Amino acid sequence: MTGKLVDYIFEICKTIGPRIAGSPEEAKAADYLKKKLKPLSDKVMVEEFKCHPGVLQGLILFEFSCILIAFILYFIIPALTTLVIVVTILILFLTRMRGKEIIDPLFKSATSENVIAIIKPVHKAKRKVIFSGHHDSAFYMPLFAKQKKRLHILQNIPVYSAILFAVLAAVKSVWIYLDLFTGLNSLTISLGLFTFANLIKFYLPIDIPAIMVGLISLLSGAYFTFNMVTKRPVMGANDNLSAVAVILGIAENVSKKPPRNTEVWLVSFGTEEPATLGSKVFAQRHGEELKDAYVFNMETVGQGNFGVVTREISVSGNLSKELADIVVKAGKKCNVKVKPIELKYGNTDATPIARQGFKSVTIMGMDENELFTLWHIPEDIPENIDEKNLQKALKLCLQILEDIDSMP
């Protein structure tokens, strides 16, 4: 085993600090990893790609702004309310659930980097194992401290109430057409008998529930938005330098004793926090090399109990149950307890890789709610990292590698 893995985290936090995607600090972290991995690997690559660091916060603000516009339009042309909400929900679905880069070009571009180290086996490679994490850090999200276990509910309230609001606006639009142009009211209007008071009374049954639902969507959306979007960066010691430290620990161990027939890739992604873009680019660029690979991603392993994610519910990410079984079995062998879980809120770099058709899972440090530990909060600092957790994660990864290398 290695020395203290937490020392890597202290060093990066002290010399570089927070590492927002596309920033000079993120680039410095990538360079740090390159220098550390080069003497421990057969090959190290730093691959640049374009990113839009403001896209996640921009998406949240965009969705809220659209709901506000839709609410105002209800009092002018209800049909436009329905149209705006349908387009808004479609953009949200394609962006979060399918990983499409729809609104990215609206935001300032920057350059990010993936760092890839390769350690070749003693004999001919029969298979490939990839251990990954990310080196960028996030902005502070107050809601993660205030309402962490209710995040999935707080996100869904404005979305589902907006959908209902769109339906009610559509009903009113049809009602207007039928009653003002083809029904009895068209006659009363033409005779000048349909007063403003009549109009209010006539539409009250649809307006009251529609406005109430619209207000619920608007107010809950405002609460979510202004408790998620800040410009205060966090240190990102656990999220996700904990994984970076374990990757460096794997490199130290495997470089001394390479596997017999398994090629090892150690990858640290850039731009995970805004849009898990680094892993998406990695999967696209290295598709041929990933066909038979096993990808074990890591998140927040510096604190909490260990879980292996088989599904990321909030982004419709379906991960490999085959790899999850390998992780659980390895954990039993090395006395590290790992629980298979479905992640209720949040997402990881495993999903973009899985979306490209490759096998991947995420090993995560989780709290009592089976969510990430020290997640997007100011307390995510090196002093709160548990060295024992890092060593357990390292032991688990080395056992996984040993088990796979022993396969026929």
| Mean local confidence (pLDDT), 89-97 | 96
Going by C-alpha positions, the residue among 202, 186, 141 that lies closest to residue 346 is 141
Q: What is the mean pLDDT of the chain?
A: 94
Asked if pLDDT for residue 85 goes beyond 80, the answer is yes
Cα 18 to Cα 2, 13, 22, 381, distances in angstroms: 25, 7, 12, 10
- pLDDT attached to residue 196: 52
Residues 287 and 278: their CA atoms lie apart, in Å, by 14
CB 308 within 8 A of CB 172: no
Backbone angles phi, psi at 265, to 5 degrees: -110, 135
Asked if pLDDT for residue 183 goes beyond 90, the answer is no
Indicate the pLDDT class of residue 176, thresholds 50, 70 and 90: confident
| Mean local confidence (pLDDT), 325-344 | 98
- pLDDT attached to residue 53: 97
* Helix, strand and coil percent figures for the chain, each rounded to 5: 55, 15, 25
Residues 122 and 42: their CA atoms lie apart, in Å, by 12
CB 48 within 8 A of CB 133: no
Q: What is the pLDDT of residues 387-407, one digit of tens each?
A: 999 999 999 999 999 999 999
Burial 295-328 (b: 16+ CB within 10 A, else e): bbbbbbbbbbbbbbbbbbebbebebbeebbebbb
pTM of the model: 0.93
> For residue 384, which amino acid is it?
N
Indicate the pLDDT class of residue 191, thresholds 50, 70 and 90: very low
Asked if pLDDT for residue 326 goes beyond 70, the answer is yes
- pLDDT attached to residue 203: 67
Beta-carbon contacts of 332 under 8 Å, excluding residues fewer than 6 positions away, are none
For residue 57, what is the enclosing H or E element? Answer: helix 55-74
Which of the listed CATH numbers 3.90.550.10, 3.10.580.10, 3.40.50.10860, 3.40.630.10 matches domain 6-53+110-142+233-405?
A: 3.40.630.10
| Mean local confidence (pLDDT), 179-202 | 53
**Environment class of residue 47 by beta-carbon count within 10 Å: exposed (0-12), middle (13-18) or buried (19+)?**
middle
Cα 101 to Cα 76, 98, 214, 274, 282, distances in angstroms: 32, 9, 28, 11, 16
Going by C-alpha positions, the residue among 293, 302, 316, 306 that lies closest to residue 340 is 306
Please, how many CA atoms are within 13 Å of residue 40, restricted to the half-sphere of its CB? Answer: 22
| Mean local confidence (pLDDT), 61-90 | 97
Beta-carbon contacts of 285 under 8 Å, excluding residues fewer than 6 positions away, are 47
- pLDDT attached to residue 193: 45
Residues 27 and 111: their CA atoms lie apart, in Å, by 8
| Mean local confidence (pLDDT), 321-339 | 99
Q: Report DSSP letters for 194-219, one per residue.
A: --HHHHHHHHHHHHHHHHHHHHHHHH
Q: What is the pLDDT of residues 266-295, one digit of tens each?
A: 999 999 999 999 999 999 999 999 999 999
Cα–Cα–Cα angle for 47, 50, 56, rounded to 5 degrees: 120
Residue-range domain boundaries for the chain: 6-53+110-142+233-405, 58-99+150-226
Q: Which residue has the higher pLDDT, 178 or 385?
A: 385
Indicate the pLDDT class of residue 187, thresholds 50, 70 and 90: very low
Beta-carbon contacts of 184 under 8 Å, excluding residues fewer than 6 positions away, are none
Indicate the pLDDT class of residue 198, thresholds 50, 70 and 90: low
Residues 389 and 10: their CA atoms lie apart, in Å, by 16
User: In the chain, pLDDT over 90 holds for what percent of residues?
Assistant: 90
End-to-end CA distance of the chain: 26
- pLDDT attached to residue 205: 82
